Amino acid sequence: MSADDGLQRGLSRRCTLPDPKLDALWTSIIIDDAIKDQLLGQAVLNFTIRSKVDRSVLPLHGVILLVGLPGTGKTSLARGMASETAHVLSGKFQLLEVDPHSLTSSAMGKTQRAVSDLFSQVVAEHALSGPTIVILDEVETLAADRGKLSLDANPIDVHRATDAVLVQLDALADRFPRLLFVATSNFPKAVDSAFTSRCDLVQAIPLPDRAACARILKDCLVGLGRTFPAIGRLATSANFDQGANACVGLDGRTIRKIVANALASRREVALDPNKVTMDDLVRAVYVARRTIRSTPHRSASETWITIVELLTHGNASAARTELLAVAGVASSIITDQFPKDVPIVVTCDGPRTRIHCTYDEDAIDGTDASEDGFGFDPLAGDWMLSFPCGKDDLAWVQAALKPYSHVCARGLDENVEKTSADSARDDEPLAIDVGRFLD
């Protein structure tokens, strides 16, 4: 990418589009074509229609939001979509990428000013010179949900930054019909609803399904095969399916990381990557799976404490406080044996962790248990823990968990990756309840 050095504050990238490297990102993300079509269609529409139709007729703000679990390809899709849009419209576009962290890390009281300056000066200046696409990656940092922020825990500055973003979005939408914002969020519950209501499209990016997992794994093995031919051959080996099946439930980034982890898992393989086997791969997948002995080996509440210790490495932290605060709900879920067949799932910026519990004979016997600590931080960055929960209990459990921003519950037949994409209807692009995203 031809990012230049003299970047204004708050920007992490500026380049012209189309850009072949970004085109490659668009093709590298393996996802239902309908999602890519919808995204590209919305982006193109922004440039073909907004300058011609009054906002009172069609209230388009020029904002697309991609939401999904970490590692599902949102940032890559946002960049790729920007470049594809320039191709489709055969025009020269500018791409700006905002680094929200650099804006919010400024001294207290300065965030609002930094946000306002970036939008009203830098973005407006580019938008004046021609069609412009602005990527707001991890937008929850900038447009944090004011309703969920407590004033003690979060400086008033964050509230003001959210206000500034909204004011600026409205002003820019009015002035520049050839400007498009593409925002991403790993954590849609934290995005202010006034921001999501301004989005012309909220697109949920799901975890890859089985076929997509197989394609991502194959793509990764074939790519490595260009340097290490024996790895490439795994992609067509008889036990390829075994590896692909093990990857189901993982996000695209983790699948690629697992291949890297497998290469590092044995010294022999690290020295000669051609020696990696499908077994190494499958073993690497299970690194982030734990089975905890529950009743009668331990009480339900002791089971939960064991899980919290495991996830937090026994260290005091805000995460630990939140996990301990939900002990009542957790114990009830464990007592009801929901985590027996359907795991408690923890997602974060690193590998996702699946935690099962065993009960009765299995809990006493303990042979299936795996209670070792993790070699990584399962709560790194934006984490989220999702309890499996039976239909009859789901409503009260979800209500009880409402005050907790990192803990949620889902039905037993819902994948943790279940998003609102399934229920999104073409005629209702604004009606997606992203708050339910991880519920």
Ligand X SMILES: Nc1ncnc2c1ncn2[C@@H]1O[C@H](COP(=O)(O)OP(=O)(O)O)[C@@H](O)[C@H]1O
Give the interface segment with ligand X, choosing from 73-81, 227-235, 282-290, 304-312 (CB under 6 A).
73-81
Task: Give yes or no for a contact between 268 and 230, defined as CB atoms under 8 angstroms apart.
Answer: no
When CB distances are held under 5 to 8 angstroms depending on the partner's kind, the choice from Mg ion, ligand X, none that residue 297 binds is none
When CB distances are held under 5 to 8 angstroms depending on the partner's kind, the choice from ligand X, Mg ion, none that residue 253 binds is ligand X
Among 10, 71, 131, 351, interactor with ligand X by CB under 6 A: 71
Tell me how far CA of residue 155 lies from CA of 146, 208, 318, in angstroms. Answer: 11, 37, 17
User: Is 256 a residue that touches ligand X (CB under 6 A)?
Assistant: yes
Question: Could you identify the residue written with the tokens 């820019």?
Answer: 172
Shortest separation between residue 348's beta carbon and ligand X, angstroms: 11
Angle at 74 between CA 72 and CA 420, to 5 degrees: 75
Shortest separation between residue 50's beta carbon and ligand X, angstroms: 26
Phi, psi of 430, rounded to the nearest 5 degrees: -95, -5
How far apart, in whole angstroms, are the C-alpha atoms of residue 365 and residue 374?
A: 23
Question: Cis (ω within 30 of 0) for the bond into 70?
Answer: no
Give the interface segment with ligand X, choosing from 85-93, 94-102, 113-121, 250-258 (CB under 6 A).
250-258
Q: How many H helices and E strands in the chain?
A: 19, 11
The residue of the chain with the least Cβ separation from ligand X equals 252
Tokens found for residue 438: 């991880």
User: Is 203 a residue that touches Mg ion (CB under 5 A)?
Assistant: no
Phi, psi of 15, rounded to the nearest 5 degrees: -155, 170
Q: Give whichever of 49 and 211 is closer to ligand X, judged by the CB atom.
A: 211
Among 11, 31, 173, 416, interactor with ligand X by CB under 6 A: 31
User: Is 185 a residue that touches Mg ion (CB under 5 A)?
Assistant: no
User: Is 75 a residue that touches Mg ion (CB under 5 A)?
Assistant: yes
Task: Give yes or no for a contact between 71 and 258, defined as CB atoms under 8 angstroms apart.
Answer: no
Nearest to 152 by CA among 387, 318, 397, 393: 318
Among 17, 29, 369, 397, interactor with ligand X by CB under 6 A: 29
Cross-strand bridge partners of residue 387: 409
Shortest separation between residue 105's beta carbon and Mg ion, angstroms: 18
Is residue 377 classed as helix, strand or coil in its secondary structure? coil
Give the interface segment with Mg ion, choosing from 73-81, 146-154, 225-233, 298-306 (CB under 5 A).
73-81
Shortest separation between residue 55's beta carbon and Mg ion, angstroms: 30
Give the interface segment with Mg ion, choosing from 71-79, 211-219, 248-256, 300-308 (CB under 5 A).
71-79
How far apart, in whole angstroms, are the C-alpha atoms of residue 14 and residue 98?
A: 9
Q: What is the DSSP letter of 96?
A: E
Task: Give yes or no for a contact between 220 and 259, defined as CB atoms under 8 angstroms apart.
Answer: yes
Among 15, 17, 30, 379, interactor with ligand X by CB under 6 A: 30
Give the interface segment with ligand X, choosing from 26-34, 259-267, 294-302, 381-389 (CB under 6 A).
26-34
The terminus-to-terminus CA distance of the chain in angstroms comes to 37
Contacts with ligand X by CB under 6 A: the residue count is 19
Binding mask 22-61 for Mg ion (x = CB under 5 A): ----------------------------------------
Q: Give whichever of 72 and 104 is closer to ligand X, judged by the CB atom.
A: 72
Task: Give yes or no for a contact between 177 and 62, defined as CB atoms under 8 angstroms apart.
Answer: yes
Segment 132-191, which members bind ligand X (CB under 6 A)? Answer: 184
Segment 199-218, which members bind ligand X (CB under 6 A)? Answer: 208, 212, 216
Shortest separation between residue 108's beta carbon and ligand X, angstroms: 29
When CB distances are held under 5 to 8 angstroms depending on the partner's kind, the choice from Mg ion, ligand X, none that residue 343 binds is none
User: Is 419 a residue that touches ligand X (CB under 6 A)?
Assistant: no
Name, in order, each residue with C-beta under 8 angstroms of 236's C-beta and a sequence gap of 6 or more. none
Question: What is the length of the chain?
Answer: 439
B/e letters for 70-109, b = 16+ CB within 10 Å, e = fewer, are bbbbbbbbbbbbbbbbbeebeeebbbbbbbbeebbebeee
Give the interface segment with ligand X, choosing from 72-80, 288-296, 373-381, 415-423 (CB under 6 A).
72-80
Q: Give whichever of 71 and 350 is closer to ligand X, judged by the CB atom.
A: 71
User: Is 294 a residue that touches Mg ion (CB under 5 A)?
Assistant: no
Point out which residues bind ligand X (CB under 6 A). Answer: 28-31, 68, 70-76, 184, 208, 212, 216, 252-253, 256
Point out which residues bind Mg ion (CB under 5 A). Answer: 75
